[in-house]
């Protein structure tokens, strides 16, 4: 089980070489750690299914996930899910008396 002190590491010999080349091309270089952080966040979002996003949102609402973690995993979906949830709740509260269905 991962702990807060665990480092995320992988063997990326080719990726390291590519990074070094881009770093040398740019005046002042590039921030490799920031690129890795952004890339990891994007990939985490990409691999989540819609069902997993809903589950994560529920865990966030129940206080099981911090806002920071929810933002990383759900990004803009956090706001979208909240809007959809509110719209659904409003729709369930509509007065349906006098509405007939054939």
Give the model confidence (pLDDT) of 70-85 as tens digits: 989 988 777 777 777 7
Average pLDDT over residues 36-49: 92
Give 69-74's long-range contacts (Cβ < 8 A, gap of 24+).
Answer: 72/41, 72/44, 73/44, 73/45, 73/48, 74/45
User: Among positive and negative, which fits the CA dihedral 37, 41, 42, 46?
Assistant: positive
For residue 17, give both structure tokens: 């070489």
**pTM of the predicted protein model:** 0.62
């Amino acid at each position: 089980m991962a702990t807060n002190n665990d480092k995320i590491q992988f063997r990326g010999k080719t990726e390291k070489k590519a990074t070094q080349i881009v770093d040398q091309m740019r005046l002042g270089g590039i921030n490799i750690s920031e690129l890795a952080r952004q890339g990891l966040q994007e990939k985490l979002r990409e691999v989540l299914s819609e069902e997993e996003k809903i589950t994560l949102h529920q865990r966030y609402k129940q206080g099981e996930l911090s806002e920071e973690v929810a933002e990383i995993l759900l990004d803009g979906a956090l706001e979208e899910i909240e809007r959809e949830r509110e719209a659904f709740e409003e729709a369930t509260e509509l007065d349906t008396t006098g509405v007939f269905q054939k």
